[in-house]
Structures are given as structure tokens and as C-alpha cells.
Structure 1
Amino acid sequence: MTTTTSAAARDVIDRRRDATGKANRRPVRPARILLYIVLTIVALGWLAPLLLAVYASLRPYQETAKYGYMSLPHHLSFKYYSQAFSQGGMGKYFLNTLIITAPALVLTLFFASFVAFALARFKIPGRKFLLILFTAGNLLPPQVMVTPLYTLYTKIPLPYWLSESGTVYDSYLGVIAIHVAFQTGFCVFVLYNYMQTIPSELTEAAVVDGAGVWRQYWRVILPLARPALGALATLEFTWIYNDFLWALVFMSTGDKLPITSALNNLRGQFFTDYNLLAAGSVLVALPTLIVFFALQRQFVSGLTLGANKG
């Protein structure tokens, strides 16, 4: 009896396995093959400049000058990387970038998430207009604001311990503030739309339990918004880290400039070693690549939020 039952069970399992295997083995459509080919070409097109910079940074300048950048290598080494780091003074500039990027990123996500929470969860008069206003601020070209902001920065006083110039101009605080001001609007727009998908019953239950506004935001909504915050953190870090316009306009002390300015130190007055410059460019790009791969899961899940929601 037991043997018969076991044989019948195995037969059922085998049939289900065969059915599942047949269901999974769907024919590959030509359209899907074409899609993969196009995506591969586009990906290689985006990666080509970075790969060429890495390849050039490993070769001596004399070799590429004689045989060309697309020739086969005769000698590869990492000496350009150590030379670029020391000659460009990158340690100091990396620290300057950290002083600007870290506070700007944290403040942007904090302000944007709290504003988006308030607009999404409370019936504030004119909240749609406020959301449009936040979004419209991103449509204004930053270059249009350079002259009035420069004049304003030179007239706003700051204590000496915050700014050696005595004003907002030539201070880290000024660059941080402009990044927060310009990036908050986009983050509010993204987080507002995501928080609209969170069931209102969650905050209603928190209110019944006696939770105030801050506790609803910090304990209920913010943990659920982690995927969206992770995606925004990746994008915002890249944008703030790579920016050079605001630091160039609002800072006069060269030792305070961010890492993007370090590449100028690798350019000679009469001669530029482009292989050395390529090594410096790779070093400058490394932090953004590290952040992207570290937050890759959050970034992808943040981009696909709501894809399966009706």
C-alpha cells in the first residue's frame, strides 16, 4: 500500500515538473532578441568613454602618442593613479566634496520627505499649487540665477567661524544651501507621488494609537519610503558630487573647491598628459560608482515602484 502510494506521488510530481518545464520553455521571439541587441549596444555606448579612460590611464603617454589610443598595449601599470592623486591633491579635494555633499544630501532628503509627507497626508489649502511650485523651480536654468545669487551671497553676513569672508560667499554653507534649495523640489515631487500609494489606514491607525505628526512621519511613513529614498539618494549624490558650477561661482578660495576642480591641477600650461588626466577622471568617478553599486538594489526597486499597482 505504501509502495503504491509513493509511486503515485512520484508520478504526480514528475508530471507537474514536466508541465512546468514546458511552460517555462517558451519560444524566444525575434522582437525580444532585437530588444536585447539594442539594449546591449546602448549600454556599450554609455560604457565606452569610461572603458577608454580606464584603458588609457593604464598606458604610458609615449606609447599612445606613437601607436594611438586604440592600439594594443605594450606596457600597463597603475603609476598614473598614484601620480594623479598626489599631483592633483585629491585627498584634500575629496574631503571638501564630502563636507559639501553629505550635509546637502541628508538635508535635501529630510526636508523633501517631510514636505511630501505633509502634502500627501494632510489637507493643506493650496497643496496642489505648492507641489506645482516645487516642481516648477526645477525648470528654471541655474545659470539664470547666478548673478542675483552672487550679489545676495556677498551681502548676507555670517559669523567668522562659519565663513572667513564674513558673508555667505566663499563658505561651504552657501554651496550646501544652494544644492538643498535646487534639489528639494524634484525630491518632493517624487516622494509625494510615492507616499500617495501608501494606504491611509496606516496613519489613521497610528493616530488612533496616539501618534503625533512626527511619530507618523518617522515611525510609519519613512520606513515604508526607503526604496524611494534609496533611489533618490543615488541620484542626488551623483548630481551634487559632480556639480562644479555653484562651487566655482560662490567660492574664491581654491583650497575649498570640490574634487571636480582637482582635474585642473593635472593640466599643464603648455602640455597636457591625457593619460594622466584619464587616471584622474577615473579616480574622481569612483565614489559615484561605489555609491551606485552599494545602493543598486534600492535604486532599481525605487524606479520600479508602482509598476504592479493598479
Structure 2
Amino acid sequence: MFPTPIEKTGPAIRISYQVAVPIALFIWLLPLLGVALTSVRPASDLAQGNYFGMPSYLAFDNYLEIFRNTPIGRYLLNSLIVTIPTVIGAVALSCMTGFALGIYRFRSNLLIFFLFVAGNFVPFQILMVPVRDLTLKMGVYNTWYGLAAFHIAFQTGFCTLFMRNFIRALPVELIEAARVEGVSEIRIFWHIVLPLMRPAIAALAVLVFTFIWNDFFWATVLTNSQDSQPITAGLSSLNGQWVAQWHLVSAGSILAALPPVAMFFLMQRHFIAGLTLGAVK
């Protein structure tokens, strides 16, 4: 019924596995390696058509030039300004909605939960025009707080699904014992349920941070200026009108990828605990 572990298979399968894994990993990382190599390639190599060969020398000053000659510092700051409030807002709202839908039993519980989940299945491309018109009418178009509010609204559905299912797996006896002792519902949520949700909160924070930081579609739809564009949308402006500065774009892409990677490694222990907690009873 279940796949046989590699350790228990024959020698031929084990050797094939050991050979195939590095090859698959290299193929998967090849685009990233190409971007990293282009980020230290001098502009003269690109002008001469040397796109895929080894660079004539390693131009690490591309990373300094991108800060000196482009507003990438502002773009990185904009990404932080948008991403951090979004993570806090979406996780905070989902903790409360997940608690309400996971603990209380009322007639419309399942319907409200389905409404939260249904939003995740709507193709975001068809929402482009109405969402843009809505931000224009509300006066929040091309602002960081408009983009952050939009992300909070759309991420809360997925976060509620995550938190509700996590809370449903908690032992209900803890909550019933607290109610018998006369503890209010707010104090039950704050002092009993919320501490138990820390692994889930950490895992969800990493996921939402990665989703929002790497968002390109809505960053280009809802912002159009240097003062509000995140790094994903701002990278396209690093190319000149007549010349494509791919070495700077590649250097900016590497810099843009560092915060999510650092976030994952810093929260790796909590992230894995949050995803696997409750998997084995």
C-alpha cells in the first residue's frame, strides 16, 4: 500500500536513486545558478553576447552599483512595509476566526467556513479590474497601505483554513476545564489556546511572508511609482529604455530572494513543528 523505503530496496534502485537525486537537484537549481552567475557578470560580457559562458571576471561591484544607481533600497523598504503588516494582520485575524469556527458550534459555522475557503479558489486574474477600480474609488491606489489591506483581505481565507483545522485538533478538554473554572472566553483564547498555537503561527507567518514578498501580479496592478512599489515590481524598472541591464536585474533578484530564505532558515524549527504537529496521534 505504501512505497517501499529506499533503504529496503535492491542495490540497483538505491544506486539509481543516489544518481538521480543530484541530477534532479542540479536541474532544479539551474535557473537560480544562471541568475547568480549573471549577477556577477560584467556589462561588457553581455554587450558581446556572452550570456551563458563563464564571465571574463567576477563583477561583484554590480551589487554596489545597484544601490548607487538604482532605487532598489527604496523597493526593498517598500516590500518590508507591505509584508510585515500583512503578516501581522492576516495571522491575527485568522487566529480569531479560526478560534471561533474551530471551537464554537452554531448553525452557520460550516457555511461561513466554506465562504472563507471559497475565496482561495477564485482565479485572481479575473479580480484585477474590479480590485483596481475599488482601490481608485477608495483613494488607496498606489499606496503601500492599500496593497497591504488587499493582501490581508485575500490571505485571511487561507490563514483561517489553516488555523481552524489546527485548533480543531487541540484537546477540547482543556477548554471545557477552563469553562468549568469560570474563565471567560477571551481569557481562554488568550491564555490557553493562543500559546498552543505558537507552532502554527510560526509556520503560517513564514508562508504568508513568502507569499506576499514574492507577489508580482498585484504589486504591478495596484502600484506604479517608486514610492510604493515592492521589490518584485521595481526590478522591471532597472532596465533602461534602450539597454537591458540584465546584470543589475539579476543582482536585484538575488537580493530580493534573500529575505524569504533568511526567514525560512530562522524559523525552520518552528515551521516544521507547525506543519507536522498533530500528524501522528
1:119 counterpart residue number: 101
Q: What aligned pairs does 1:31-70 form with structure 2 within 5 A after superposition?
A: 34=16, 37-63=19-45, 68-70=50-52
Q: Residues 41 and 224 (structure 1 numbering): CA distance in 2 closer, same or farther, change over 3 Å? A: farther
Structure 2 Cα separation of the partners of residues 304 and 34 of structure 1: 29
The alignment status of 1:256 with 2:220, answered yes or no, reads: no
Query: Which AA in structure 2 matches 1:246?
Result: W
> Against the structure 1 CA distance between its residues 273 and 154, is the aligned structure 2 distance closer, same or farther, given a 3 Å change threshold?
closer
Counterparts of 2:209 and 2:20, CA distance in 1: 29
Q: CA 1:231–1:33 in 2, change beyond 3 Å: closer, same or farther?
A: farther
- 2:272 alignment partner AA: V
1:177 partner amino acid: A
Match of 2:273 among 289, 301, 304: 301
Supply the distance in 2 between the matched residues of 1:206 and 1:35 (Cα, whole angstroms).
Answer: 52
Instruction: Encode CA deviations 1:166-221: one digit per residue, 9 max, x unaligned.
Output: x2333322211110111111111111111111100111222233322222122211
Q: Cα RMSD (Å) of the superposition?
A: 2.3
What is the alpha-carbon distance in structure 1 between the residues aligned to residue 56 and residue 142 of structure 2? 47
Is this contact kept in 2: 1:87–1:265, CA < 8 A? no
Corresponding residue SS for 1:256 = coil
- Of residues 233-242 and 72-81 in structure 1, the stretch that sits farther from structure 2 once superposed is 72-81
Give yes or no for contact 1:120–1:195 (8 Å, CA) kept in 2.
yes
Q: Counterpart of 2:3?
A: none
- CA drift at 1:273: 2.8
Q: In the alignment, what sits opposite 1:288?
A: 260
The runs of 5 or more residues in structure 2 that have no matched partner are 1-5
- SS of equivalent residue, structure 2 residue 131: helix
Aligned AA (1:141)? P
d(CA) in 2 for partners of 1:245, 1:180: 15
Aligned residue for 2:116? 134
CA distance in 1, matches of 2:269, 2:69: 36
Is residue 2:86 matched to residue 1:71?
A: no
Is 2:226–2:234's contact at 8 Å kept on the other side of the alignment? no
C-alpha displacement of 1:41? 4.0
Percent of aligned positions with the same letter in both sequences?
40
Report how many residues are paired.
Answer: 274
Specify every segment of 5 or more residues in structure 1 that has no aligned partner in the other structure, as ranges.
Answer: 1-25, 157-166
Q: Distance in 2 between matches of 1:232 and 1:39?
A: 29
Identify if the C-alpha distance between structure 1 residues 262 and 87 changes in structure 2 by more than 3 Å, giving closer, same or farther: farther
- CA distance in 2 between partners of 1:34 and 1:212 (Å): 60
Could you state the TM-score of these two structures normalised by the residue count of structure 1?
0.80
Q: What's the secondary structure of 1:82's corresponding residue?
A: helix
| Correspondence for 1:190 among 130, 155, 162 | 162
Matched-pair contact (CA < 8 Å) for 2:75–2:226: no
Q: Matched residues in 2 for 1:303 and 1:35: separation?
A: 27
Quick check: 2:74–2:226 contact (8 Å CA) kept in 1?
no
How far 1:68 sits from its partner (Å)? 4.0
Per-residue CA deviation, residues 258-297 of structure 1 (Å, 9 max, x unaligned), is 1112212321222213222211110111111111111111
- Aligned-partner residue type, residue 145 of structure 2: L
Instruction: Note closer, same or farther for the CA distance 1:74–1:147 as it changes in structure 2 (3 Å cut).
Output: closer
